[in-house]
């Protein structure tokens, strides 16, 4: 199942898939999507999390061992796998497929990677994740208003004195660079708070 942009939260409210593939080159959008999935999983009792970050020397046996000690009374577990290159290789791809087969009520697989190229999209492991669970693409060309920054920018600005809220201006000027927008957004909020405080009667 493919989840369309901006529909992740509504989909999570309906149901939790046994596995997810989150891809994209915009790190903040990917991070927000992963946070949303983890939060939804915690609400359903997934209290344990194993994190694996792959590299050229990554031992894929570690991934298999993540589920080796699951038992009837084990905590619900999230196995999170980060693929910095988006290419796990033949051994890694097979390990991912085998782990997908083990997902269920007590095991959630969460895989993240950069935007996949055509070959990776058609790989067995990517197709297996999409078929058994859900795939969500956090597109790098989405404007800043696709993230939580936009929700703050479009919300009524309590201390705005001009026609547009400062946060909205920041969102437009960073043109989707959400990591750059963070510090500017915080500065705008602090400045607005200080201005409002100074206007209070003493």
- pTM of the shown model: 0.70
**From 36-40, 114-118, 134-138, 151-155, the region with the lowest mean pLDDT:** 151-155
For every residue of 81-145, DSSP letters joined together read EE-SSS--HHHHHHHHHHHHTT-BTTEEEEEEES---HHHHTSHHHHHHHHHSEEEE--TTS-GG
160 pLDDT above the threshold of 70: no
Q: Is 144 or 31 the better-scoring residue by pLDDT?
A: 31
Helix (H, G, I), strand (E, B) or coil at 3: strand
17 pLDDT above the threshold of 70: yes
Look at the alpha carbons of 131, 134, 75, 79 in this order and tell me if their dihedral is positive or negative. positive
Instruction: Give, in degrees to the nearest 5, the angle at Cα 114 between 131 and 178.
Output: 120
CB atoms within 10 A of CB 194: 11
Residues 93 and 161 in one domain: no
Residue-wise pLDDT tens digits, 45-95 = 998 898 999 998 999 988 887 776 665 556 789 999 999 999 999 999 999
CA distance 32 to 20: 14
The pLDDT assigned to 147 comes to 43
Tokens describing residue 53: 């970050």
Residues 160 and 126 in one domain: no
For residue 79, the surrounding DSSP H or E stretch is: strand 76-82
The pLDDT assigned to 143 comes to 47
Residues 17 and 117 in one domain: yes
Number of domains in the chain: 2
The end-to-end CA distance of the chain, in Å, is: 59
Residues 10 and 106 in one domain: yes
Q: Is 186 or 86 the better-scoring residue by pLDDT?
A: 86
Of 110, 137, 164, the position where a domain reaches its end is 137
Residues 74 and 162 in one domain: no
Q: For the chain, give me the number of helices (H) and strands (E)?
A: 9, 6
- Owning domain of residue 41: 2-137
Residues 34 and 97 in one domain: yes
Residues 176 and 84 in one domain: no
104 pLDDT above the threshold of 80: yes
Residues 17 and 94 in one domain: yes
Of 137, 164, 188, the position where a domain reaches its end is 137
Residue-wise pLDDT tens digits, 149-159 = 444 444 444 44
Of 137, 162, 179, the position where a domain reaches its end is 137
Q: Is 119 or 148 the better-scoring residue by pLDDT?
A: 119
Residues 150 and 183 in one domain: yes
Residues 96 and 130 in one domain: yes
């Amino acid at each position: 199942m493919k989840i369309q942009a901006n529909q992740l939260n509504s989909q999570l409210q309906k149901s939790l898939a046994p596995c997810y593939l989150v891809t994209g080159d915009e790190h903040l959008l990917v991070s927000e999507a992963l946070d949303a999935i983890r939060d939804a999983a915690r609400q359903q009792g997934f209290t344990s999390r194993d994190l694996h970050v792959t590299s050229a020397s990554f031992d894929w046996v570690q991934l298999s061992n993540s589920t080796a000690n699951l038992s009837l009374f084990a905590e619900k577990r999230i196995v999170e796998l980060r693929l910095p290159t988006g290419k796990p290789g033949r051994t890694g791809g097979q390990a991912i497929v085998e782990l997908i087969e083990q997902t269920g009520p007590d095991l959630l697989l969460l895989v993240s990677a950069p935007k996949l190229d055509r070959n990776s999209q058609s790989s067995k492991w990517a197709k297996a994740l999409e078929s058994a669970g859900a795939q969500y693409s956090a597109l790098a060309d989405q404007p800043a208003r696709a993230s939580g920054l936009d929700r703050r920018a479009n919300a009524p600005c309590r201390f705005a004195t001009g026609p547009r809220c400062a946060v909205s201006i920041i969102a437009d000027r960073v043109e989707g660079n959400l990591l750059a927008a963070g510090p500017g957004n915080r500065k705008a909020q602090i400045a607005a708070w200080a201005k409002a405080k100074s206007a209070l009667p003493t």
